[in-house]
Amino acid sequence: QPHPSPLSGEKMAAVQVASGLSVPLLSALLGGAVALVFLAGYLRRKRADIAHLPPSAAAAAPDLPKQVRPAGQNKKGGGHARVHHHHASAADKEAGKKHHHLDVNTLRGHTDCVTALDFSSDACNLATVCADGVVRVFRIDDASSKSFKILKINLPAGAHPTAIAYSEGSSSVVVAAQALLGSSLYMYADVGAPPTGGNKQQGKLSPPEIKWDHKKIHGKESVLNLAAARATHGTGDGSTIVISCSEATDIKIWHGKSGKELGTVDTNQLKNNMADISPNGRFIAAAAFTADVKVWEIVYSKDSSVKEVHRVMQLKGHKVKFLPAYILLRKFQTIPVSRD
């Protein structure tokens, strides 16, 4: 066979070099073309957006001929128009804050979400529990007022309030708080006292005192809600009864004034959702993990103390389990709310 000439070998080497360079070159060219297409589309969209921007009134006003401008719309008149427009927009903004015609006011002062609240029996005070660790009591004698007297209650260090209920009318509140070692109850008295002369100008009330407290009332479990009522049924003496519902299965009954534990109810469920007590202090209803509501009756002895607590009925009819929502107890009616 004839030997290949040196010239043909050089041609083959050049072809190999060219083929090796063609793939990266074509990839670079293709990438550049794609980048140019995206850049052209972006510039076209920006040009279209700029073209559709409406001219401002300040830029359009000098271009108008003098004879086209309405009479009396000189610099001074324009200032009056701007002031009128400012007042109109402020009024519209103020009206837009109210979402309903019965919305009379908004209570401000919390620095975090409000997790629980309760009205006093005379409807003159509203106590709130906030995630910032402070209990606030608002004096709302005049609901349409622009400012309210606020009583701030700072719980002991490390305690985070989870529930609140009024006890003994509007003079005291019971606060449930969660700490590292478990849940606690604190009863603060004189929360409805009128402001003293020294702090009347500041809109603040005097700090109340802790009358009684209990630690680890439900072990390490948190208190879901508190409810209170006057024991007027049967031989009850009219004193305030407070119940605390834990996130476990137990519900405890307390004497509102003395803080004495009067009894315990076990729902025998996986966990509680909430509980409530009837206004006459006779029944306790609890919504737990299932779709049923269990009702217990508090039996009072002749000396007005709690003799026993026994279950009297179990309400069925809900299709799904209860939300951690509401049970409204009235004298002879129970109104539960479930997910269905």
Query: Please, which residues have CB within 8 angstroms of residue 292's CB and are 6 or more apart in sequence?
Result: 314, 315, 316, 318
What domain range includes position 196? 104-220
Listed range (50-59, 90-99, 153-162, 242-251) with the worst mean pLDDT: 50-59
Residue 324 covered by a domain: yes
Dist. CA 219–CA 180, nearest whole Å:
11
State which H helix or E strand residue 225 sits in.
Answer: strand 223-230
CB 265 within 8 A of CB 250: yes
pTM of the model: 0.63
* Average pLDDT of the chain, as a whole number: 76
231 and 340 together in one domain: yes
State mean pLDDT over 185-199.
Answer: 70
Contacts 24+ apart (CB under 8 A), 185-188: 185/213, 185/214, 185/217, 185/223, 185/244, 185/254, 185/259, 186/155, 186/156, 186/159, 186/210, 186/213, 187/211, 187/212, 187/213, 187/256, 187/259, 188/135, 188/153
pLDDT at 57: 41
- Give the integer Cα–Cα distance in Å for 312 and 331: 15
Number of domains in the chain: 2
Q: Which range is least confidently modeled, 177-191, 274-288, 322-336? A: 322-336
Q: Determine, yes or no, domain membership for 52.
A: no
Q: What is the pLDDT of residues 260-274, one digit of tens each?
A: 999 999 998 889 999
Out of 73-77, 239-243, 282-286, least confident range: 73-77
Last residue of a domain, one of 220, 246, 274: 220
- Say if residue 251 is in the same domain as residue 196: no
243 and 290: one domain?
yes
List phi, psi (to 5°) of 28: -65, -40
Same domain, 112 and 216: yes
Question: Are 211 and 282 contained in the same domain?
Answer: no
Give the CATH number, domain containing residue 162.
Answer: 2.130.10.10
Residues 211 and 230 grouped into a single domain: no
SS3 state at 287: strand
Same-domain check for residues 232 and 210: no
pLDDT on residue 322: 45
Q: Residue 47 falls within a domain, yes or no?
A: no
In a domain, 37, yes or no: no
Domain boundary among 220, 255, 289: 220
* 94: in domain: no
Note the helical H segments in the chain.
6-52, 57-60, 75-96
Assess whether 257 and 154 both reside in one domain.
Answer: no
Average pLDDT over residues 70-87: 47
Q: What is the mean pLDDT of residues 204-224?
A: 86
Which residue has better confidence, 108 or 218?
218
pLDDT at 156 over 90: no
- Count Cα neighbours of 143 within 13 Å in the Cβ-side half-sphere: 7
Residues 170 and 276 placed together within one structural domain of the fold: no
The verdict on 323 and 238 lying in the same domain is yes
| DSSP, res 258 | T
Q: Is 133 left (phi over 0), alpha (psi -120 to 50) or beta?
A: left
Which range in 102-116, 199-213, 282-296, 320-334 is most confidently predicted, on average pLDDT?
A: 282-296
Tell me, yes or no, whether 163 lies in a domain.
Answer: yes
Q: Which amino acid is at 71?
A: A
* Residue 118 pLDDT: 94
Judge whether residue 128 has pLDDT over 80.
Answer: yes
Does residue 68 form part of some domain? no
* Same domain? 284 vs 269: yes
Q: What is the pLDDT of residues 7-35, one digit of tens each?
A: 465 656 655 655 666 777 778 888 888 88
Sheet arrangement for strand 293-300: 272-277, 283-288, 293-300, 306-315
pLDDT > 70: percent of the chain:
67
